[in-house]
Chain A
Amino acid sequence: MAMDCQSQVRLKQTEEGLQLILPSVEDMSDASWSDLWQQFKHRCHGSDRFWQVPGTVHLMAGDQLLDGLKLQAIADVLNDVGLRISRVYTSRRQTAVAAATAGYCVEQQSATYSLHQTPELSQELTEPLYLQMTVRSGVEIRHPGTIVILGDLNPGGTVIAAGDIFIWGRLRGVAHAGADGNRSCRIMALKMEPTQLRIADAVARAPETPPIEFYPEVAYVTPQGIRIARAADFAKTQLLLNS
Chain B
Amino acid sequence: MSRIIVITSGKGGVGKTTVTANLGAAIAKLGRQVALIDADFGLRNLDLLLGLENRVVYTAIEVFAGQCRLEQALVKDKRQEGLVLLPAAQSRNKEAVSPEQMKKLIAVLSQKYEYILVDSPAGIEMGFRNAIIAASEALIVTTPEIAAVRDADRVVGLLEAQGIKRIFLIVNRLKPAMVQADQMMSVQDVQEILAIPLIGVIPDDERVIVSSNRGEPLALAENLTLPGIAIHNIARRLEGDKVPFLDLMAEHDTLINRIRRMFRS
Contact = CB atoms under 8 A, between A and B. Distances in A.
Interface of B is mostly: helix
Interface string B149-163: 011011011101101
27 contacts: A38-B158, A41-B160, A41-B161, A41-B163, A42-B157, A45-B160, A77-B163, A80-B163, A134-B195, A136-B153, A136-B156, A137-B150, A137-B151, A137-B153, A137-B157, A138-B153, A138-B154, A139-B157, A151-B195, A154-B193, A155-B150, A155-B153, A155-B193, A156-B150, A156-B153, A156-B154, A172-B193
Nearest to A170: B192
B193 A42 contact: no
A63 interface: no
Nearest to A41: B161
Interface residues of B, number: 12
B154 A136 contact: yes
Interface of A is mostly: loop
Contacts of A151: 195
B82 to A, nearest CB: 34
Interface of B: 150-151, 153-154, 156-158, 160-161, 163, 193, 195
A41 B157 CA distance: 10
Interface of A: 37-38, 41-42, 45, 77, 80, 134, 136-139, 151-152, 154-156, 172
Nearest to A77: B163
Contacts, number: 40
A45 B164 CA distance: 12
- Of the listed residues A42, A137, A139, A155, the one surrounded by the most CB atoms of chain B closer than 10 A to its CB is A137
Contact of B157 (A77, A138, A152, A155): A138
Nearest to B162: A41
A136 B153 CA distance: 6
Closest 6 CB pairs of A and B: A136-B157, A137-B153, A138-B154, A137-B154, A38-B161, A41-B161
A230 to B, nearest CB: 23
A22 B151 CA distance: 29
Contacts of B195: 134, 151-152
Contacts of B158: 38, 138
A124 to B, nearest CB: 31
Contacts of A80: 163
A151 B153 CA distance: 14
Contacts of A154: 153, 193
Given A134-B195, A152-B195, A154-B193, A42 B160 contact: yes
Contacts of B161: 37-38, 41-42
A196 B195 CA distance: 22
A139 B151 CA distance: 12
B27 to A, nearest CB: 29
A172 B143 CA distance: 20
A172 B195 CA distance: 14
- Of the listed residues A45, A77, A134, the one surrounded by the most CB atoms of chain B closer than 10 A to its CB is A134
Nearest to A40: B161
Given A45-B160, A138-B158, 13 more contacts: A37-B161, A41-B160, A41-B163, A42-B157, A42-B160, A134-B195, A136-B156, A136-B160, A137-B157, A152-B195, A154-B153, A154-B193, A155-B150
